[in-house]
Amino acid sequence: MNLLFSINQKFIPLWEQCMATILRHGGAVRYDVYVLHSDLTAEDGARMRAALRPQDSCTLVEVPDGLFEGFPETGRYPLQIYYRLAAPLLLPEALGRILYLDVDTVVLNSLVPLYTSDFAGTAFMACSHTGRFLDRVNQARLDLEEGVPYLNSGVLMMNLALLRGTLRLADIRDYAEQYRRRLILPDQDILTGLFGDKALVLDSRVYNMTDRLFVRCAALPAERLTLDWVRQNTVVVHYLGKPKPWQKNYIGPLGVFYKEELALTQAGTKEA
């Protein structure tokens, strides 16, 4: 299974914890991990490889200087958020598909059904957390056609074979420039603007569960989701926004899974 991450050096501990949950629950015999970056060292690479099993691999892919120069960035949204958009142009051509994950995720069940799913001719598989009203707002803000969903970029199945023939870095840059003053979540806005109509939308409850989504679904009479349902059915829990479970003042209901997984990781480290 090919996995993709995009981080800078300070996120290595979060990557290690995310990866630990994948090794426990992800279900693949082997993981080939690719990490897009601009500041990781050889020592960082050795540390990350040490977090994997002997059969797994970790390849650091340095993004060329200036590739995203001038793109909108803030402390919360550094340039690394754009790297995933150019992944098809940066990764080895032999790769046909890859699963991208943000590091503020934990994996609770097997990733294999998602990874082996049919793209059905689409460029991405992704989730959407917006309802009909916000979809319309985003369609107006980003000049999208009616019916185009707003995509979350935290969990992405990428059809690399298709994207290599259609993706151009110039298109990403042109879109960023054209909509610079309208961008709110820059990478997601660009992903949706360029590929929202070329994506297969997944069930967010299964592949991109968030605290807000859980609270909403738990209150719906037709669903009444529980934490046990999440434990048994959700594949990826995504801790969107702030604060996170590892930060002060976090009160989200899904933090229990981060704490449980962290305890397992720490117990395994002590045993080793």
Question: pLDDT at position 116, please?
Answer: 98
Q: What is the mean pLDDT of residues 85-95?
A: 95
Residue in the structure block whose two tokens are 């990350």: 48
CA nearest 215: which of 176, 241, 178, 179?
A: 241
pLDDT in tens, 131-175: 665 667 767 787 777 777 889 999 999 999 999 999 988 888 888
Residue 185 is predicted with a pLDDT of 79
Q: What is the pLDDT of residue 68?
A: 84
Q: Cα(142)–Cα(101) distance, rounded to whole angstroms?
A: 24
At 239-258, the pLDDT tens digits run 998 899 999 899 999 999 99
Residue 196: the pLDDT is: 87
pLDDT of residue 1: 98
pLDDT in tens, 11-60: 999 999 999 999 999 999 999 999 999 999 999 999 999 999 999 999 99
Q: Average model confidence (pLDDT) for the chain? A: 91
Least confident of 28-32, 47-51, 73-77, 217-221: 73-77
pLDDT band of 186, cuts 50, 70, 90 = confident
pLDDT at residue 270, rounded to an integer: 63
Q: Which residue has the tokens 């142009």?
A: 89
Predicted confidence (pLDDT) at residue 272 exceeds the cutoff of 60: no
Mean pLDDT across the stretch 195-221?
94
